Structure 1
Amino acid sequence: MKRVSSVFYITAALIIIAVLLGSLFPENAERITGEVNSFLSATFGWYYMWIMVGFISVSFFIAFSPYGKIRLGQDEDRPDFSTTSWIAMLFSAGLGIGLVFYGAAEPLLHSFSDAPVSEAGSDQAIKEGMAFTFFHWGLHGWAMYGIVALTLAFFQFRKREPGLISATLKPLFGDRMKGPAGKAIDVLATFATIFGVATSLGLGAAQINGGLSHLFGLEVGFISQLIIISIITVLFLISAWSGLSKGIRYLSNTNLILAVVLFFGVLFIGPTLLILNMLSETFGYYVQNILQMSFRTAPLGTDNRDWLDAWTIFYWAWWISWAPFVGMFIARVSRGRTIRQFMVGVMIVPTIISAIWFATFGTTAVSVQQSGVDLTQYPLEILTFHMYDNLSFSFLLSLLSISLILTFFITSADSATFVLGIQTTNGSLTPANSVKIVWGLAQSSVAVVLLYVGGLTALQNTIIAAAFPFSFIVILMVVSLLKGLNKELKLMKKQKI
């Protein structure tokens, strides 16, 4: 533990305080953080919409401008991982449990119980529900991840700066980023990472518990979830100990294989022709209406502003709050790629794959709902398993889903320990195993405490609230990146003369 920075101790103290407050006063914590979230959504919803559009615009500009040929590393560097392993790791860190947790649920809810625009249950609502799901999991979020990851990777590998959020702002603020201001930025990023991942661990444990209960009758409750988290903690710590090139890469490739098998299983067992037609039409709707969806603020009383606050603005804040963790991990595994390769891989490929995934699971859920089975009555963590009950090979599909959640669970936690190690050891690319183990135990402990006190809602609210100040940091990162890229391009041209 000799290599840890002051960020380690400051963040650890803040985590202990936050967990104690959430444990001792769960109702007050949920109420206060909920009020903060409501205020931010109502007052700054327009701001979230505009900055996400801005991040997409800047990302495309950088990718297809002369900056795109700059390599994330030295000119002789080449990628550390194959394209397949790289994409698998993007998904493991960037989407993970969300694909399985929301794959069937979100399109179904937007279509039948919480429609964004049209009358719930109508054919138009079904199409819009699918398109808005693509919107929430598509270009906007991945541009957010991509711009943060690109900034970190450029300064880390091209300019040989520490792998810290604060280090990316040195072109703007110089050595002041080595002082209290820089520490504060890194503490905020570390805090957001550990609580964001702890929330996902809690959701994952709840879904695994629900699936095992559905299949084998395992009791749903805190004790079962504690056992699940304990087992998975041991597994991801073993993976973390083995290092980036072994543990995370192998598990990410396993995730990819399981996801492909499950995807094709649902595609061919479910309403295949309807899935393909829905994918084509609704993806076209998404592309055609992306500008209108991107600037939609529902300003009038009949515009369903509550839906916008609960879904779109919530998602934008959620993506921003996860950007320090996912951006830092993506940056770490992307050395050697050109900026153009990087941005296309991070933005376009995940958007298309996510759309195919949600169209397959969402259309299947809609088909089951239309057959007379009300899936909307079930909690989100078990909705997918009840959908499988209406398909052939339901037991096998459920087992595959539980296995996929399990491996996503392990890789998300494993990736987080690695990133937390970087953030709290002055940007070291090879944080000590002891540091990773401490953070691994910490995030599992936070998840357990939150499940025990029922504090997941308050925690989610806290993370979303943290996204607001961090969004200004990301804007500064973009300005710093553009300044750095412009200087680098001039240097490259001068060297060729």
Structure 2
Amino acid sequence: MKKVTSVFWISLVIAVLFVLWGVIFPDHLTEVMNRAQKFFMVSFGWFYQLTATFFLIFALFLIFSPYGKIKLGKDEDKPEFKYPTWFAMLFSAGMGIGLLFFGVSEPISHFTNPPSAVPGTGAAAREAMRFTYLHWGFHAWAIYATIALALAYYKFRKDLPGLMSATLYPLLGDRVKGPIGIAIDVVAVFATIFGVAASLGLGSQQINGGLSYLTGIPNTFSIQLLIIAVITILFMASAGTGIKRGIKYLSNANLILAVLLFFIMLFMGPTVFLLDLFTTTFGGYIQNLPSMGLRLSPFNEERAAWTQGWTIFYWAWWIAWAPFVGTFIARVSKGRTVREFVIAVLVIPTIVCTIWFAVFGGTAIYFDFNFDTNIAAQSLETALFYVYEQLPLTLVLTIITLFLITTFFITSADSATFVLGMMTTNGDINPANMVKYTWGIILALSAVVLMISGGLAAMQTAIIVSAFPLAIVVILTSIALLKSFKKESKEAKTATK
């Protein structure tokens, strides 16, 4: 614990106070969070929309800019991980549990409650898929790419600590080493805690739903607490092995299981329908990307509430996850060029995510549209397992999914403890196990508190509130990064003369 900084102790004290608040005064915490959610949703929806769009434009600019040749590291550095392992780590940390939890439940929810189309129609199905792609596509990965790029650049090329505060050095200078820098890093720590805790809560609910379907055990809060306890022990054991063992091996296992599950779903389901659906809806997503990404509906309260509950929540979630995922992606991306990095992080995951949702969500829509199976009436955590009932190999699909959720659960939490360890040890790329274990316990307790305080609604509130100040920091990070790139490009031209 010798290497921990004041960020560690400040964050730990505040985190413990939050946990105690939720345990001792759960009703009061719920009331406060409900008020905060309403305030930020209604008053700052425009801010989240513009911010997410800004990051997408920024990422596209970097791909085509002359800065694309700059390396994330010294000129002689080579990538530490091969492409398959790199992608596996990225997905395991960045989207894992969410793809399984929302893979069926989000598209089918939009199908029965679309933003503007008539529910249950072909138009609603197309709109459902387009907005699902929006929430999990280019905007989300542009947010991740921006943070990860800045962290990797300053860490590996400029030899600065791998901290959020360090990304503002071009703007703030040595002030990032004082109270301002500490405040920035504490904000990043809490955004990470709430973002990951929400995913852990969702994961425990879906594991419980799957076990209930498979074995008949109750789908209750007490069982979910037991699941969190068991998984916490497992991910802390994995965290103790280091990034080149536990996370690496589990991430590769995740990739294999996810690919297997995907192809079983594709070929056991309505294959031609799914391929047609993806083709037409992905084209619609690209065509309508600007308008969907800036949609707020100021003249229709019902549609505005839909956007707030889905789109604004997602932008806040990705921003809250950005320090965590960004730090992790940066850690495994040393030696890549800016252009290679942004294309890989922005384009490839978006295509994979949209295909995934087309297959899983499209299968649910197919059955509800053609056979009135009423999958939409199922809960978020059990909808996927209900889809399996309509297909051959139901038991096999369920078992694979439960294993996959568990391994995604472990790698997400394992990665988060590693990143929180980095954030609170001045960017140490190999934080002490005791630091990681401390944050592992805090993550588990935070997930439990959020579940006690209102479940998904409480998780949404924590994410939206913590993401607001962080969004401002990330915008400034983008400006600082351009300033650094411009300076380096100018110095390179001068050196060649």
Q: What is the TM-score when the length of structure 1 is the normalising length? A: 0.97
Q: Structure 1 CA distance, aligned partners of 2:459 and 2:202?
A: 12
- Residue type of the partner of 1:277? D
CA contact (8 A) 1:89 1:252 kept: yes
Query: Is 1:482 the counterpart of 2:482 in the alignment?
Result: yes
Query: Is 1:341 the counterpart of 2:340 in the alignment?
Result: yes
CA contact (8 A) 1:161 1:167 kept: yes
Cα 1:138/1:264, change in 2 over 3 Å: same
CA contact (8 A) 1:26 1:455 kept: no
CA contact (8 A) 1:388 1:398 kept: yes
> Residues 419-430 of structure 1: matches in 2 within 5 Å?
419-430=419-430
CA contact (8 A) 2:413 2:440 kept: yes
The match for 2:434 is: 434
5+ unaligned residues in a row in structure 2: which ranges? Answer: none
Q: Structure 2 CA distance, aligned partners of 1:374 and 1:455?
A: 24
Q: Structure 2 CA distance, aligned partners of 1:376 and 1:273?
A: 22
Give % identity: 51
Query: Is 1:183 the counterpart of 2:182 in the alignment?
Result: yes
5+ unaligned residues in a row in structure 1: which ranges? Answer: none
The match for 2:86 is: 86
Q: Structure 2 CA distance, aligned partners of 1:82 and 1:282?
A: 32
Query: How far has the Cα of 1:440 moved from its partner?
Result: 1.3
Q: Structure 1 CA distance, aligned partners of 2:493 and 2:153?
A: 18
Secondary structure in structure 1 of the residue aligned to 2:107: helix
Query: How far has the Cα of 1:481 moved from its partner?
Result: 0.4
CA contact (8 A) 2:40 2:464 kept: no
Q: Structure 2 CA distance, aligned partners of 1:302 and 1:125?
A: 19
> Residues 24-423 of structure 1: matches in 2 within 5 Å?
24-112=24-112, 114-301=113-300, 304-370=303-369, 371-423=371-423
Secondary structure in structure 2 of the residue aligned to 1:117: coil
Query: How far has the Cα of 1:455 moved from its partner?
Result: 5.1
Note the alpha carbon deviations across 1:333-363, whole angstroms, 9 max, x for none. Answer: 1110000010001000010000100000011
- Residue type of the partner of 1:357? W
- Residue type of the partner of 2:335? G
CA contact (8 A) 2:63 2:342 kept: yes
Query: Is 1:491 the counterpart of 2:491 in the alignment?
Result: yes
Note the alpha carbon deviations across 1:214-253, whole angstroms, 9 max, x for none. Answer: 0011222233223322222222122111111111111111
The match for 1:19 is: 19
Note the alpha carbon deviations across 1:259-294, whole angstroms, 9 max, x for none. Answer: 000000110111101000000000000011111112
CA contact (8 A) 1:166 1:182 kept: yes
Note the alpha carbon deviations across 1:390-446, whole angstroms, 9 max, x for none. Answer: 111111111111111011000000100100110000111111112111111221232
Query: How far has the Cα of 1:172 moved from its partner?
Result: 0.6
Q: Structure 1 CA distance, aligned partners of 2:135 and 2:107?
A: 11
Note the alpha carbon deviations across 1:369-409, whole angstroms, 9 max, x for none. Answer: 12121112211011110111111111111111111101100
CA contact (8 A) 1:107 1:130 kept: yes
Q: Structure 2 CA distance, aligned partners of 1:448 and 1:456?
A: 12
Secondary structure in structure 2 of the residue aligned to 1:398: helix
- Residue type of the partner of 1:279? F
Secondary structure in structure 1 of the residue aligned to 2:425: coil
CA contact (8 A) 1:72 1:338 kept: yes
- Residue type of the partner of 1:265? I
Secondary structure in structure 1 of the residue aligned to 2:336: coil
Query: How far has the Cα of 1:471 moved from its partner?
Result: 0.9
Q: Structure 2 CA distance, aligned partners of 1:330 and 1:146?
A: 9
Cα 1:301/1:225, change in 2 over 3 Å: closer
Query: Is 1:458 the counterpart of 2:458 in the alignment?
Result: yes
CA contact (8 A) 1:69 1:338 kept: yes
Q: Structure 2 CA distance, aligned partners of 1:71 and 1:214?
A: 49
Note the alpha carbon deviations across 1:165-210, whole angstroms, 9 max, x for none. Answer: 0011111111111111110110111112122212211111111011
The match for 1:472 is: 472
Cα RMSD (Å): 1.4
CA contact (8 A) 2:313 2:460 kept: no
Query: How far has the Cα of 1:23 moved from its partner?
Result: 2.3
Query: How far has the Cα of 1:452 moved from its partner?
Result: 4.8
CA contact (8 A) 1:22 1:455 kept: no
Secondary structure in structure 1 of the residue aligned to 2:381: helix
Q: What is the TM-score when the length of structure 2 is the normalising length? A: 0.97
- Residue type of the partner of 1:281? T
Q: Structure 2 CA distance, aligned partners of 1:186 and 1:411?
A: 23
Q: Structure 2 CA distance, aligned partners of 1:224 and 1:15?
A: 24
- Residue type of the partner of 2:186? V
Secondary structure in structure 2 of the residue aligned to 1:120: coil
Query: How far has the Cα of 1:128 moved from its partner?
Result: 0.6
- Residue type of the partner of 1:458? A
CA contact (8 A) 2:191 2:470 kept: no
Secondary structure in structure 2 of the residue aligned to 1:380: coil
CA contact (8 A) 1:7 1:183 kept: yes
Secondary structure in structure 2 of the residue aligned to 1:247: helix
Secondary structure in structure 1 of the residue aligned to 2:284: helix
- Residue type of the partner of 2:96? G
- Residue type of the partner of 1:130? M
Secondary structure in structure 1 of the residue aligned to 2:53: helix
CA contact (8 A) 1:117 1:303 kept: no
Q: Structure 1 CA distance, aligned partners of 2:120 and 2:490?
A: 57
Secondary structure in structure 1 of the residue aligned to 2:240: helix
Q: Structure 1 CA distance, aligned partners of 2:339 and 2:111?
A: 37
CA contact (8 A) 1:199 1:459 kept: yes
The match for 1:448 is: 448
Q: Structure 1 CA distance, aligned partners of 2:203 and 2:313?
A: 19
- Residue type of the partner of 2:320? S
